[in-house]
Amino acid sequence: MEPASKYLKLYSPPNLKEVGNQNKDEQKPIILTYDVLRIIFRFLSTRDLCSVVSTCRLWRDAANDEAITRNNPEVSLMHVNHFHRSNKINVNNLYDAKSIGTDLRIRPSIGLIFSKVQEENEWTPDGCYCQNLPTNSDVISIGGYDIVENETKISSEMGLSVGVFLPKFEKLEKHIYHLDEDRLLSSNFENHLDLIVHNLLPTEDEKSKCIIILETSDGYDVSQTVMNKLKKSYKPGSIALWGGICVGMNLCQLNKTSVCRKKPLWTAISLSSPTLQSYSIVLKNNCRKEHLMREKLENFKTNIQLKKYSVAFMFACCARLDIKDTEVTVFKSIFPNVPLVGLHGDGENGLDTLNKKREKSLKHGYSTVFMILTYE
């Protein structure tokens, strides 16, 4: 006898108009085999996949096997009509942030959401980005003066956002460190920073590491201290560094601590995996002409190796908004198949991974920092 889990019989309800003329025994079952389920499940979002796993063992296996094939990074542009500006007086004029997780096709390990905001406006979500995301996901939402989503012409309206989500691929190690005002006042603050810097750097078993450091204007001094410590300790070629000063920042961690919409002054993220390679490059203030950008990025491409999946991040100074289209166009012409997301802020963190010498400074102004993550 074949095991019960091999197929599932689904009976369609009889046509009410013909119910008197049909015999229930004559109805033919619809047999959904594993292969048929896999084809159907290709079209489901991750949220829908999670909802069918409890149906039976066959459906669970088909859903889980489909989910593990989705290792690509996912970029999602949230249209402006989902958002509204608000100010401190009228907090009823809010945007709906809850829909972000409903259509994702991957089960994200971490997500970065870049939103176009203004300092003079309080930008408060109705609900939270993390509400429809699975557990063990971390989401950092970051405000900037403008955002980047490939070569999309971004509207002048505030609140438009772009999110990038990374799956939990093979042996991904993810660590997030954040500091708020209370931690800044603690007596062992300096020792705490030393520990963070030590943990951010690659271990002997790690060939390289991706480091993202984000701060608000109130967290600038902390970031400067960390950068000075990091600069003295890192080995050239062993890390990619990206980030900068944001207009605002929210952190959600959907794990045992269940942190939602925490407002840190400073956040650091480290990502590493045997299959992950990361590279960063800085276009400084003297690199504003198209031919200079192209020359530097083409040399960058020549000396790196892209794997099966890749995604790129851009953090640019707001003073370079006038050359945003040129920078994006040049980057996409050199890396046409690499999704590009990012924002414009008030200062940049970064280094040239390919530089064999230690950088003089890891903090920059009037510059643009690109970072590429690539993995199997």
For the chain, which residues make up each domain, given as ranges?
4-67, 74-375
pLDDT attached to residue 24: 54
Angle between helices 57-67 and 34-41 (to 10 degrees): 50
Mean pLDDT of the 328-333 span:
98
pLDDT attached to residue 180: 83
Mean per-residue pLDDT of the chain: 83
Under a CB-based contact definition with an 8 Å cutoff, are residues 344 and 271 in contact?
no
What's the rounded Cα separation, in Å, for the pair 60 and 52?
7
What's the rounded Cα separation, in Å, for the pair 220 and 133?
30
Q: Does residue 9 carry a pLDDT above 70?
A: no
Percent of the chain with pLDDT over 70: 78
Residue 220: which pLDDT band, with cuts at 50, 70 and 90?
Answer: very high
Question: pTM score, two decimals?
Answer: 0.84
Residue 1: which pLDDT band, with cuts at 50, 70 and 90?
Answer: very low
pLDDT attached to residue 208: 85
Q: How far apart are the first and last CA of the chain?
A: 41
What's the rounded Cα separation, in Å, for the pair 268 and 175?
8
Percent of the chain with pLDDT over 90: 56
Residues linked to residue 283 through DSSP beta bridges, in sequence order? 368
What's the rounded Cα separation, in Å, for the pair 248 and 140?
10
Mean pLDDT of the 312-340 span:
97
* 3 state DSSP class of 57: helix
Backbone angles phi, psi at 47, to 5 degrees: -60, -40
pLDDT attached to residue 26: 60
Q: Of 92-96, 120-124, 197-201, give the range with the top mean pLDDT.
A: 197-201
**Closest by Cα among 137, 133, 134 to 172:** 137
Q: Of 45-59, 195-209, 291-305, give the range with the top mean pLDDT.
A: 291-305
Matching residue, tokens 């989503």? 149
**Closest by Cα among 177, 260, 186, 187 to 223:** 177
